Chains A and B, each alone.
Chain A
Amino acid sequence: MSAAPERLVEDPSTRPPLVLGNTDFHDVTEKVAGIVESKAPKLWVLLLMMALSLALVLAGSILDLVGKGIGEWGLNHPVGWAWDITGFVFWIGIGHAGTLISAILFLFRQKWRTSINRAAEAMTIFAVVSALLYPTIHVGRLWFLYWFFPVPNQMGVWPNFRSPLLWDFVAVSTYGTVSALFWFTGLVPDLATLRDRATSKVKQVVYGVLALGWRGSQRHWQNYEKAYLLLAGLSTPLVLSVHTIVSFDFAVSVIPGWHTTIFPPYFVAGAIFSGFAMVQTLMILARKAFGLQNLLTERHMENMNKVMLGTGSLVGYAYGMEFFIAWYSGNPYEAFAFINRAFGPYAWAYWTMISCNVLFPQLFWFKKVRTSVAASFVLSIIVNIGMWFERFVIIVTSLHRDFLPSSWAYFTPTIVDVSTFVGTFGLFFTLFLLFLRYLPMIAMAEIKQVMPQASAHPAGHHAAHAAGEHGQGGSHAIA
């Protein structure tokens, strides 16, 4: 490790450290808890005001929609789904990166995830909140929302469990619940840290109750670690199932352009792609704003860029394969849907999608780009834009020219479409900014665990134990 003064090393046997600058346990606590305990930075207050204003725009848009009906959106006859479902899939996809980082990378023992997993999980939950808003409001008559649930109502009718839309509702609400449980479980030891450092009675009581009386007992840690592993194991198939089921909303229908078997893996890859882009955007901002360069290193950014390069290329492959199958299937409707997608009235949206999702991410092949903060930031935003367009292209271009040319139409969003979508960013950022201020944004207990000092068996001492079933301690802790 001493041979690696720079933050990025080529040789995989000497990986750069995850925590830089001679940090000890107490420094980690000071750094992370300090963010919560210090006075709110002016920039944070300003950003919160902006986010809250946008959230109010969302509230106004929803009131308008509920008051007047979904005719307030620009939907027309063949295009019965547009920005609402686009926004839903966009947000739910963003959420998936959080679970990927917190659960899948945990199972793969990718220790670099510890710095970013807390914030990424928070992002998941807030993205799911934003996503769930859409199916909620697009039913139009909010007071009948309980029809989604299998509760016996006055008519004795049950929800139709053979409908992909109900599967979707069940999947997304399960996902939201499990993500929240996983997140809270991870938070408890860090909430205890905030409780023990609390300077006011209010903080002590609030953090104290939330920390459940945690006392760092080894007899608790043992059950806790097992439960954390199990929750990670449950979240992993869950996250894959959620976007698979989201893709069923389309794939189970008979609309050309939707009715394809490639959708589940293609949607999952796209979700991870967009989610990593969002994590990257948020982390670069938070790192800068709170001075966390020692905990969120260039190595974290480079790893995330590599994931984006991989998933972005998968998505590009899926775009190509859709065209191939449209031709190879010999189905004229399928062929028309795809030619219309690339060269019809929505060609501008299609080529925006291709350039943002397939062309620009290829820049990540260059190490200079991957490790540059500015380039990563710009590209992450480009990917976010591209992935919104992907959902828009899939949904609207497949619908707007249906089987009868007499019912063809062009979809144009109304102001309410736009304000609802922009407003969800307000909601998302309000929640995220509150999280940054009031909860530890980096998992302190987990970071301490991957530091070299955490080894109970330093330098050959008790070597027999280190090789035992918990052999990941010791000198491997930072590999």
Chain B
Amino acid sequence: MQSPEQAPAADQPFALVGTFDTPAALVHACEALRDQGYEKFDAHTPFPVHGLDRAMGMKASKVAWITLGAGLMGGLGGFALQMWTQGVDYPQNISGKPFFAFQAYVPVTFEATILCAALGTFLGMWALNRLPELFHPVHQAKHFPKVSDDKFLVSIEASDQKFERRKTAELLAGLGAKDVEEVAP
């Protein structure tokens, strides 16, 4: 995670973590960090807090492109499968129905589109999030178990260009964070 040019000290932490009690305080802190030029920081919340992505200066999610690609592949693949199996590879005369009866292939083409788009969305979303990742340094934070309950954490990674061990900790505390601590990599 650490950029090579920074060559951190051996005891360099992975990140600084501070705790907030309310979504409003968290959003406020994230806006301040964004405005100070921090980039490698994250918020950890029990539920998605609206407006936080902009407070953190994040770009829009790319998941929808994966959905589109997977859906198109599924639809085209499903249609091609039916045309080829029914019309080319082994045509069977069943009740005199035409072999290239595209109308009859609509339901399965539709279902294949949805199936592939949904699988793509599901797998693509986890891949973009780099999950599963059963251990992450932030898991060690003292208040981390409360993140999935009612606490709001901010973590600032030591690899951020603006990161300065003491100054960043003071900034975080100044923004109202409680129990500012360092987590080991």
Contact = CB atoms under 8 A, between A and B. Distances in A.
Interface of A: 24-26, 29, 150, 156-164, 166-167, 170-171, 174, 177-178, 181-182, 185, 189, 192-193, 195-197, 208-209, 212-227, 230-231, 234-235, 237-238, 241, 245, 248, 444-446, 448-449, 453-458, 461-462, 465-466, 468, 470, 472-473
9 contacts: A26-B150, A196-B147, A208-B134, A209-B134, A212-B126, A216-B44, A222-B58, A222-B61, A230-B67
A154 B136 CA distance: 49
A226 B59 CA distance: 13
Interface of B: 22-24, 26-27, 30, 42-56, 58, 61-64, 67, 71, 81-82, 85-86, 89-90, 92, 94, 97, 101, 104-105, 107-108, 110-112, 114-115, 117-119, 121-122, 124-126, 128-129, 131-136, 138-139, 144-150, 153
Given A161-B82, A196-B144, A217-B44, A231 B122 contact: yes
A162 B121 contact: no
A170 to B, nearest CB: 5
B133 A213 contact: yes
Contact of A177 (B90, B108, B115): B115
Contacts of B64: 226, 230
Given A213-B135, A235-B118, A465-B55, 17 more contacts: A158-B85, A158-B86, A161-B104, A174-B115, A177-B115, A196-B148, A212-B132, A215-B138, A215-B144, A217-B43, A218-B45, A223-B129, A225-B61, A234-B67, A456-B49, A456-B50, A470-B53
Contacts of B46: 25, 189, 193, 216, 444-445, 448
Contacts of A177: 115, 118-119
Given A218-B42, A448-B46, A193 B149 contact: yes
Given A215-B139, A216-B45, A218-B58, A157 B126 contact: no
A458 B26 CA distance: 13
Nearest to A162: B104
A193 B148 contact: yes
A217 B137 CA distance: 13
Contacts of A156: 89-90
Pick the most buried of B30, B46, B153: most chain A CB atoms within 10 A of its CB. Answer: B46
A235 B145 CA distance: 33
B111 A215 contact: no
